[in-house]
Structure 1
Amino acid sequence: MPEGLAHSRRGFLAGAGGLAAAAALTGPNALAAPRRKRPSLRGGRFAEGVLSGDPTPDGVTVWTRLTDVEGSGTVELEVARDRGFHNVVARGLVRTSATSAYSVKSRVVNLRPYEEYWYRFSTRGEESPIGRFRTALPPDSREPVRFAFFSCQDYTFGHFNAQALVADEDIDFVVNLGDYIYAEVYYAANDGRGGVRTDPIGVSETLEQYRAKYALYRTDPALRRMHSRFPMISIWDDHEVQDNYAGGAGPTGGLAPELRYAQGRRDVAYRAFFESMPTYGAKGPGNNRIYRGLRFGRTVDLVMLDQRQYRADQPCGDAQIGPACDDLNAPRNFLGRRQMNFVKKRLASSPAAWKVLANQVMVMPTIYPGGDYIGFDSWQGYPRERRELLQHLRRKKIEDVVFVTGDIHTFVAGDVRVDNDDKKPVATEFVGGSISSPGLGEGGGGILPGADPYNPNTPESIIDLLRSTNPWAVDAEFDHHGYGLVEATQKGLSCKLRRVDTVKTASRKALPDKRFSYRIARGEPSLLD
């Protein structure tokens, strides 16, 4: 299990005559069932498809949601070694009701390492789509690990075409870096500002509205197909609750009163996240801790971070572009002490070749020509914690650390330095663009002059200018959308930043990725050498 995942095991043994080693369903809603029983719920629809998540060598979490049913009851879950379900290894009932908006979630355990399984849910009369997942490598394996990472999918600004490409990759899992939904609504179909789809829900403030967002986003067929093929390991960023909120900033969340942030609003957003995602809180159901670690053999140790729940208010007025202010270097929580200690300990003790940090916001600084900072919402707004973590890597001689990052709707690759003028980096960072949210070349952030949401074409001279003020960055791309694709071996790690041609219409056309393909060797973190 992911480190710290210790939810209730009121499960049952299924198949194999009830042997102790048989696959089993666990979780607070799994029911003991010594003999096969039919589900009690009738009909309904599985409109959001099926999802799996948090794979370990012996288990995975599976999820679906029912609509068009009433009352409380049970749904059958089956897990098999073949798509035809001739070799079922786990079968049982999972309870659901309107209390959870009919989400159905269970942890399947006692599976074999690095093996493919298929799963499905059913009521009396209806079956879900079939999903597939692969369990993680066994602890001592030195085999390669392949995964995709993505973030920032605004339903209104574009189609999730990148997810169609992810679904066709040969990978073990996907990493969701947050902004999977947007509580806010910025665009609408045919609005003249780049919008292509209309969000009928509006701004989410209630539990029902947050739940409805997940359902709306999963009407995109490319997203549903991706979920049916790979397990997803998820964290949230800010838009699952509210743009740029700071969970540790008290009742206001660091936001202006007219933005209507409230801790109750945050709490229902967190509840909707756990109801709608194939993951449990790292300390069990009802717990909101999402930072955790998952290891894939001796090749990858994946550390999932939470950079929203514990952070203090952003400094310098949270300016989009501005100079360093007087209190920039004041003590200020970002990860918070418990999470920071967890991350430092895990990195120092990891036996894996590659330590990969799933990172919501950029750790490389972003400096505008003239010296102003581009934003204070990222690690650069919390320099004390940034320095503490990066100095820990240097002091403990922790090598082969890679940050995979979302948030900024931009493709960037570069070196992570403790100080800007350092020659030797302590880590590498890959920023994977956005699935559909507007990039800088489309007007995202209002930073680049001449941005065009319909025909973005950032001049190479602007890229060169920004590179000159950010010499740790090897390259950047502001105009397109996509994701990152990683392959890690015992000798090296490669990352391709894969881009789609458009998000304005449903399309599977990809752009060439040769320019944005990178490789680093063990002990050699720099992309600039």
Structure 2
Amino acid sequence: MAKRPGPISRRRALQGAGALAALPSLVFAQTAAAARPRLMQGVQSGDIGIDGATLWSRADRPSRMIVEYATKESFSTMRRIEGPLALEATGFTSRLRLVDLPPGQTIFYRIAYADPATAGATSDWVQGRFRTPPATAADVSFVWSADTVGQGWGINPDIGGMTIYEAMRLLAPDFFVHCGDTIYADDPLASEKKLPDGRVWKNITTDAKSKVAESLAEFRGNHLYNFLDTNLRRFNAEVPMIALWDDHDVVDNWYREKHLEEDSRYREKNVSVLARRAERAFREFMPLADGLDGPMRLYRKFSFGPRLDLIRLDMRSFRAANGPNRQAVAGKDTAFLGLEQVGWLKQALKSSTATWKIIAADMPLGLVVYDDWRRKSGSEAVANADDGPPLGRELEIAGLLSFIKRENIRNVHWLTADVHYPATHRYDPARAAFQDFTPFYEFVSGPLCAGGFGPNALDGTFGPQVVFQKVPPPGRFDLSPLEGSCHFGHVKIDGRSGAMTVSHRDASGKVIHSLELMPS
């Protein structure tokens, strides 16, 4: 028999009344918290130079961006700016360009979002920082790599996620160059992927990463996936990014005339349509200096004081269709950077007074990258595998290299990625079929979180030779991050002597090769 309840004491009655009285306050607090915007993707900065820096974040609903920044972490003296609205039309992202910043200073910033429709509904502040370029010949350092979440290797919670971002952060670089494939829009993720030795790689999965990206929402979802990684968000809050794009930001080996009739995964077969949607998502989620309206112009020079100019290129937007790449005369079918970008690049190099002019490209110059690697046909990059005088896209690069020599522009070197293994190449006219250029180095790194491949063959047109490379063991293809596929590069320039040290590093940050160059 159930026990009958006894009489309620005065104390119990008062306690109950108190709980009931507190209940509306609790409900109100929960409702108020739910009404406040949130910054689920954290904050990031980018496109940093002597002319300013871009701050970026994303809200989870329509809201107004608010930025506070200062030269002291205490924010005891700070400036406050009401930024743009984050709206559905921008994927709820927003950005703000800071200008007139003091040189050689750490800038502390914090971002919040305010709901314009609800008074007092403001998110928590999320803080970040970056260091402005020096005005004098001071030390400068940066890291670079490419290829995030490729070949089915995603965010693995069992190993702590993409820990390579933490290894880069611990070096405290002034900025990070992402050389492209910021997402793998054409590479869905499964929850598990088996390694040859029987181990199982486990992925965090989302709906957007369950299929190839075709709609704008799906391209946005690919970018959002990367922000699930704690290492990446912490890195973004401390290291400004200079971002390039490459093929997997849209689809493998894309050019605007490409069609996907033979790929059953795609309902949208027109790559130019996919590229427009992918470009929109890229511009929304990268901390670029330019806005979202008008044509995208990625190529840009970033100055970091007297010792360094970093020059970003765009090897995707202006290229002609991939093909045999053997034309004897330059024309519209041999375009890779395109006439306008090449003209701009020449003037950027000629006008630079920095000790080092480093060109950041999304593809290598002398490595053979086939459009169809199975048949070893067509060219996806510059080299055409014939080892002879410049033909096709090589004509554009030959003209650029001749210009650099003719104008006596010193200390120009290239850094890039794309091929999923680290390497250092020295281009020497004494070894080349085309000899009208000054020797230079090309430094290759990557991937950040993707499969390991290589080595690719070197084309002899510009005389490259391997100084260093680290590739998978013979017969191995798609080496996993657990097997050492992931790498990044680190550049450090000594402000006093001008010496530049370039090191290749594994995912833990361990140096696997280093080269010191003195300015000529």
Residue pairs, 1:161-176, within 5 angstroms: 161-176=163-178
When structure 1 is superposed on structure 2, of 196-205 and 476-485 the one drifting more is 196-205
Amino acid at match of 1:389: L
Amino acid at match of 2:381: S
Residue pairs, 1:29-44, within 5 angstroms: 42-44=35-37
**Match for residue 13 of structure 2?**
none
**Match for residue 452 of structure 2?**
439
**2:194 is the alignment partner of 1:196:** no
Distance 1:118 1:268, change over 3 A: same
**Match for residue 272 of structure 1?**
281
Distance 1:343 1:127, change over 3 A: same
TM-score of the two chains, using structure 1 as the length reference: 0.75
Distance 1:274 1:378, change over 3 A: same
Distance 1:333 1:241 in 2: 20
Q: Which residue, 380, 384, 407 being the options, matches 1:377?
A: 380
**Match for residue 505 of structure 1?**
none
1:95 CA displacement: 1.7
**Match for residue 415 of structure 1?**
426
Distance 1:256 1:392, change over 3 A: farther
Residue pairs, 1:331-410, within 5 angstroms: 331=331, 332-366=334-368, 376-381=379-384, 382-410=393-421
When structure 1 is superposed on structure 2, of 85-94 and 211-220 the one drifting more is 85-94
Distance 2:340 2:254 in 1: 20
Distance 1:428 1:373 in 2: 26
Which string of whole-angstrom CA distances, capped at 9 and with x for unpartnered residues, describes residues 50-99 of structure 1? 010112235211010011x3xx4423211122233222133324322211
**2:142 is the alignment partner of 1:147:** yes
Q: Which is higher, the Rg of structure 1 or of structure 2?
A: 2
Whether the aligned pair in 1 keeps the contact of 2:194 and 2:201 (CA below 8 Å) is yes
Whether the aligned pair in 2 keeps the contact of 1:294 and 1:301 (CA below 8 Å) is yes
1:217 CA displacement: 0.8
When structure 1 is superposed on structure 2, of 89-98 and 44-53 the one drifting more is 89-98
Amino acid at match of 2:290: G
Whether the aligned pair in 2 keeps the contact of 1:363 and 1:416 (CA below 8 Å) is no
Distance 2:398 2:277 in 1: 33
Which string of whole-angstrom CA distances, capped at 9 and with x for unpartnered residues, describes residues 476-516 of structure 1? 1124312110012453211111102xxxxxxxx444x2x41
Distance 1:468 1:304, change over 3 A: closer
1:216 CA displacement: 0.7
1:421 CA displacement: 5.3
Distance 2:111 2:288 in 1: 17
**2:255 is the alignment partner of 1:246:** yes
**Match for residue 15 of structure 1?**
none
Distance 1:222 1:116, change over 3 A: same
Amino acid at match of 1:394: K
Whether the aligned pair in 1 keeps the contact of 2:58 and 2:86 (CA below 8 Å) is no
**2:305 is the alignment partner of 1:293:** no
Distance 1:107 1:466 in 2: 41
When structure 1 is superposed on structure 2, of 426-435 and 379-388 the one drifting more is 379-388
Which string of whole-angstrom CA distances, capped at 9 and with x for unpartnered residues, describes residues 279-334 of structure 1? 1338x743311111111111111110000000011223xxxxxxxx7548764000
1:175 CA displacement: 1.0
**2:441 is the alignment partner of 1:428:** yes
Residue pairs, 1:494-513, within 5 angstroms: 494-500=501-507, 509-511=508-510, 513=511
1:239 CA displacement: 1.3
Distance 1:196 1:352 in 2: 46
Aligned to 1:148, the other structure's residue is in SS state strand
Distance 1:473 1:263, change over 3 A: same
Which string of whole-angstrom CA distances, capped at 9 and with x for unpartnered residues, describes residues 18-67 of structure 1? xxxxxxxxxxxxxxxxxxxxxxx951221111010112235211010011
**Match for residue 39 of structure 2?**
46
Distance 2:505 2:493 in 1: 17
**2:468 is the alignment partner of 1:478:** no
Aligned to 2:176, the other structure's residue is in SS state strand
Distance 1:367 1:253, change over 3 A: closer
Distance 1:376 1:520 in 2: 32
Aligned to 1:440, the other structure's residue is in SS state coil
Whether the aligned pair in 2 keeps the contact of 1:467 and 1:474 (CA below 8 Å) is no
Which string of whole-angstrom CA distances, capped at 9 and with x for unpartnered residues, describes residues 193-229 of structure 1? 5753245312111111111111111101111111000
Distance 1:145 1:49 in 2: 26
TM-score of the two chains, using structure 2 as the length reference: 0.76
Distance 1:427 1:255, change over 3 A: farther
Distance 1:360 1:329, change over 3 A: farther
Residue pairs, 1:86-101, within 5 angstroms: 86-101=76-91
Aligned to 2:321, the other structure's residue is in SS state coil
Provide structure 2 residue ranges, at least 5 long, that are not aligned to the other structure.
Answer: 1-33, 115-120, 155-160, 385-392, 473-484
Which string of whole-angstrom CA distances, capped at 9 and with x for unpartnered residues, describes residues 327-353 of structure 1? 487640000000000001111221111
Whether the aligned pair in 1 keeps the contact of 2:320 and 2:336 (CA below 8 Å) is yes
Provide structure 1 residue ranges, at least 5 long, that are not aligned to the other structure.
Answer: 1-40, 317-324, 442-446, 449-464, 501-508, 524-529
1:425 CA displacement: 5.1
Whether the aligned pair in 1 keeps the contact of 2:366 and 2:464 (CA below 8 Å) is no
Distance 1:195 1:183 in 2: 20
Aligned to 2:516, the other structure's residue is in SS state strand
Whether the aligned pair in 2 keeps the contact of 1:364 and 1:429 (CA below 8 Å) is no
Distance 1:117 1:384 in 2: 44
Residue pairs, 1:5-154, within 5 angstroms: 42-57=35-50, 59-67=52-60, 69=61, 72-122=62-112, 123=114, 124-138=121-135, 141-154=136-149
Distance 1:373 1:493, change over 3 A: farther
Distance 1:152 1:328 in 2: 33
Distance 1:478 1:200, change over 3 A: farther
**Match for residue 316 of structure 2?**
308
Aligned CA-pair RMSD: 2.9
Whether the aligned pair in 1 keeps the contact of 2:448 and 2:486 (CA below 8 Å) is yes
Whether the aligned pair in 2 keeps the contact of 1:274 and 1:280 (CA below 8 Å) is no
Whether the aligned pair in 1 keeps the contact of 2:97 and 2:289 (CA below 8 Å) is no
Whether the aligned pair in 2 keeps the contact of 1:301 and 1:355 (CA below 8 Å) is yes
Distance 1:211 1:190 in 2: 23
**2:516 is the alignment partner of 1:516:** no
